[in-house]
Structure 1
């Protein structure tokens, strides 16, 4: 089957102080988030001049993918669309239609399953096509890639590089901690029927952590969560990274290496929640702290994306390092399994 383009579909982020509030209102629309919570998060963005690194890093990664596509002789223009900030997916899909694109592949900038990491991108695709109407191109979303050897290899090298930055006095006495964005526990459980359990976000994160830990030879490691929001009465995946740092300190751990395995690229919830809050908590405890890089700037990430493209344009086999089912590939926003990863209704 032939394709006319690749749509790079991401979360989006503000690119100036005046963007922050409307961006946050887009993110939280319909969720009943109180204004004082938005005030708090807005200050996190303003700490960095009102700019999230995510759009810049997406553009850099897209340039790398364009170069890799050209090197492999694949003529596929790459378009950029976001869920929550410009360029918005609806506008980008309209541009694609005006350019004559009839069938395109879609890369969501998440490696995982679950509602926020997967199903919500299906909804983005469905909404964008509906906004364009009858002329909207067919959109085929690429699969999950948390267990792809290039994804695992990029994180493994990033962990090794982070370890090298620790003080020599620490030696090998550090703890490897993997982190990903927390979600409500009930939402994580709503991943579809048991035979589709490989879609479950927490299971995929745990498997990615296991693969990276094995690649760096770490027999002992932890998987924790970060960036939770919402009412305290609603259970979310735990433990939280800050609570876990407290526990490690209580156990006498002198250093921690944090690998944000749940994230493809840096954005506010990496540079604030980890590089700022977690690093400060570790410093309060006198613990050495190092954070592994996210993979979007690694050359292997562009190779990974093109491999996913080649699965569709050239029938290339799906490379993966786990026994989890291949999942996440959808057409025009239709979920890949009945009842899979649906939004929880309050």
Structure 2
């Protein structure tokens, strides 16, 4: 089947101080996040001049992928400019009829997968009858290139530390959202189990038998339970056990955007320094040439019938057409079921 373009679909981030508050309001709309939490997170962004690295990192990654695919690449975001609705309108004006979509998340779950389907539905509705057909690419948490990139990044981060504990981290989500993600007959928890599987694969590549999987970046109301432990709390616990150093691997992220550089490079690093612990942080895959090759392989699965490369048999979903949700309801929020 032929395709006219590739839509690179991401989260978005502010590119100036005046963008920060409206961006955060876009992200949290309808989620009941207290204003004081927005105030706190806004200061994280202002600490870096009100600019998130995410848009620049996406543009860099797109530039690396362009020579590897025979398709024009368009860039659109969920929460900040370039907004996906505007990008899809641009694609329609350019005559694009059928395009692949690469969402910048390796995992299932509502925020990591299903919400990208909603982005596609919203953008197509905004464009109307001339909207291109959109085919979203699959989840890739267990792709060999994803695993190899993280394994080499951990080696680099650990090379001068000596004895250390390897800690994988991903974005926390509400427990109810995680429990609802995945076919009920499989026990749900698709997101957290995929994160654990990716961590297992990287640890296996490294020959590491013992490691931890923890969480970061929670933002919801304090009365709602989220995935735990938090990475900073976990560093304190490791210190109490006498662990001399920690290497943190942000397995849940594909680029060093603000939640990585604040939560890990600032808060977690500062906590380790306060406790006198060594600290290393593995890079995300974004600037690794293997990440560009990974995206090209996902595209080739559709354009050339290339077999999917996976390192596990763990459940993975995600290929959808025009935002039509998976028949398994694998990433549907619990409140919407029934």
CA contact (8 A) 2:182 2:188 kept: no
Q: Would you say how many aligned residue pairs link Structure 1 and Structure 2?
A: 336
Aligned residue runs from structure 1 range 119-134, under 5 A: 119-134=114-129
Q: Which consecutive residues of structure 2, in runs of 5 or more, have no partner in the other structure?
A: none
Aligned residue runs from structure 1 range 32-181, under 5 A: 32-69=32-69, 75-166=70-161, 171=162, 173-181=163-171
The residue number in structure 2 matching 1:301 is 291
Where 2:198 maps in the other structure, the secondary structure is helix
The residue number in structure 1 matching 2:250 is 260
The residue number in structure 2 matching 1:72 is none
CA contact (8 A) 1:113 1:199 kept: no
Where 2:280 maps in the other structure, the secondary structure is strand
How far, CA to CA, are the matches of 1:97 and 1:150 in structure 2?
33
CA contact (8 A) 1:198 1:325 kept: no
Q: Which consecutive residues of structure 1, in runs of 5 or more, have no partner in the other structure?
A: 70-74
Where 1:177 maps in the other structure, the secondary structure is strand
Residue 323 (structure 2) pairs with residue 328 (structure 1) = no
CA contact (8 A) 2:180 2:188 kept: no
How far, CA to CA, are the matches of 1:326 and 1:25 in structure 2?
31
CA contact (8 A) 1:174 1:256 kept: yes
CA contact (8 A) 1:163 1:257 kept: yes
Offset at residue 16 of structure 1 (A): 0.8
Offset at residue 344 of structure 1 (A): 4.5
Offset at residue 33 of structure 1 (A): 2.2
Offset at residue 194 of structure 1 (A): 4.1
User: 1:278-321 deviations in whole A, cap 9, x for unaligned?
Assistant: 00111111000000000011000000000000000011100000
- TM-score, with structure 1 as normaliser: 0.94
Of 194-203 and 142-151, the range deviating more from structure 2: 194-203
Offset at residue 186 of structure 1 (A): 1.1
Where 1:107 maps in the other structure, the secondary structure is strand
CA contact (8 A) 2:265 2:281 kept: yes
Offset at residue 193 of structure 1 (A): 2.2
How far, CA to CA, are the matches of 1:92 and 1:3 in structure 2?
17
The residue number in structure 2 matching 1:190 is 180
Residue 267 (structure 2) pairs with residue 277 (structure 1) = yes
Among 276, 286, 291, the residue aligned to 2:276: 286
CA contact (8 A) 1:12 1:82 kept: yes
How far, CA to CA, are the matches of 1:2 and 1:198 in structure 2?
35
